[in-house]
């Protein structure tokens, strides 16, 4: 089923599509999906066959895999290929300007590199999350290290694919180091967002420090738009 995006995630996304569902291997402690996985007693990821009857032409900008990381290491190659093939097939005969734009977000962009020559990436954006320049293993659990995410994103950007970075939920960082890691991803767009769910106590930066980071990012010519998400804006306004 193609779900209409309500704007909580990214405003530019029109729909989400989740052909792979189940508990994410990365296990980030703050993940908004934990209650859903518990409620429906979901287990390890599964390829949902009936999702392939969804008409993707109903969407214009589709976030594929918003409910579990479909590039995590426990996802089978053949499942990823099936999803990418399906997405690409919808764009095959479309005239210029009419293509569906797919958004693939992963904390394991190294795995995306394995498929990067797939035709789906002609009309796709690759996103990664960088919560900080620091690694917080107790919170990030099995997610790849920040530096590894950046290294992969650098290569993806060098291939001419549009990249984006989401700094959400933001965690305490070292300003210059963090700005440099984000710059290396050459993101067309950077999202700054705050933890809303409060499943765990996160090591949050101060507002002043966050504003300083935003200033650094906005001054960088290799970074596109810096978007302050509403939850971060509310946090700033409270101060």
Answer positive or negative: Cα dihedral of 128, 133, 135, 136. Answer: negative
How far, CA to CA in Å, does 133 sit from each of 102, 123, 152, 206? 27, 29, 15, 15
As beta bridge partners, residue 16 has 3, 63
- In this chain, which of 9, 13, 20, 24 binds ligand SF4, going by CB under 6 A? 24
When asked if residue 26 is in the footprint of ligand SF4 (CB under 6 A), the reply is: yes
Q: How far apart are CA 166 and CA 151, in angstroms?
A: 16
When asked if residue 68 is in the footprint of ligand SF4 (CB under 6 A), the reply is: yes
* Smaller CB separation from ligand SF4, 107 or 186: 107
Tell me the CB-side half-sphere exposure of residue 99, using CA atoms within 13 A: 18
- In this chain, which of 28, 83, 161, 202 binds ligand SF4, going by CB under 6 A? 28
When asked if residue 69 is in the footprint of ligand SF4 (CB under 6 A), the reply is: yes
Least gap, CB of 106 to ligand SF4 (angstroms) = 8
- In this chain, which of 3, 12, 14, 33 binds ligand SF4, going by CB under 6 A? 33
238 Cβ partners below 8 Å, 6+ apart? Answer: none
* Smaller CB separation from ligand SF4, 30 or 235: 30
24 Cβ partners below 8 Å, 6+ apart? Answer: 31, 33, 45, 68, 69, 72
Least gap, CB of 201 to ligand SF4 (angstroms) = 17
When asked if residue 139 is in the footprint of ligand SF4 (CB under 6 A), the reply is: no
The interface region with ligand SF4, picked from 23-31, 37-45, 53-61, 85-93 by CB under 6 A, is 23-31
- In this chain, which of 15, 107, 149, 183 binds ligand SF4, going by CB under 6 A? 107
| Nearest residue to 140 (alpha-carbon basis) of 192, 69, 188 | 69
């Amino acid at each position: 089923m193609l779900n209409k995006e309500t704007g909580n995630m990214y405003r530019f996304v029109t729909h989400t599509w989740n052909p792979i569902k189940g508990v994410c291997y990365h296990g980030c402690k703050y993940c908004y999906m934990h209650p859903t996985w518990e409620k429906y007693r979901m287990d390890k990821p599964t390829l949902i066959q009936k999702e392939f009857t969804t008409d993707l032409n109903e969407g214009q900008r589709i976030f594929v895999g918003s409910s579990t990381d479909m590039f995590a290491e426990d996802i089978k190659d053949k499942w990823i290929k099936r999803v990418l093939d399906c997405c690409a097939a919808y764009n095959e005969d479309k005239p210029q300007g009419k293509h569906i734009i797919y958004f693939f977000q992963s904390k394991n962009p190294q795995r995306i590199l394995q498929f990067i020559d797939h035709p789906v990436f002609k009309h796709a954006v690759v996103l990664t999350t960088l919560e900080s320049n620091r690694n917080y293993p107790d919170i990030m659990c099995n997610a790849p290290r920040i530096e590894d995410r950046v290294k992969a994103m650098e290569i993806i950007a060098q291939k001419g694919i549009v990249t984006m970075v989401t700094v959400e939920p933001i965690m305490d960082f070292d300003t210059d180091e963090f700005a440099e890691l984000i710059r290396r991803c050459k993101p067309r767009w950077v999202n700054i967002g705050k933890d809303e769910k409060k499943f765990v106590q996160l090591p949050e930066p101060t507002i002043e420090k966050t504003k300083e980071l935003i200033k650094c990012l906005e001054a960088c010519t290799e970074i596109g738009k810096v978007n302050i998400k509403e939850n971060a804006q509310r946090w700033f306004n409270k101060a």
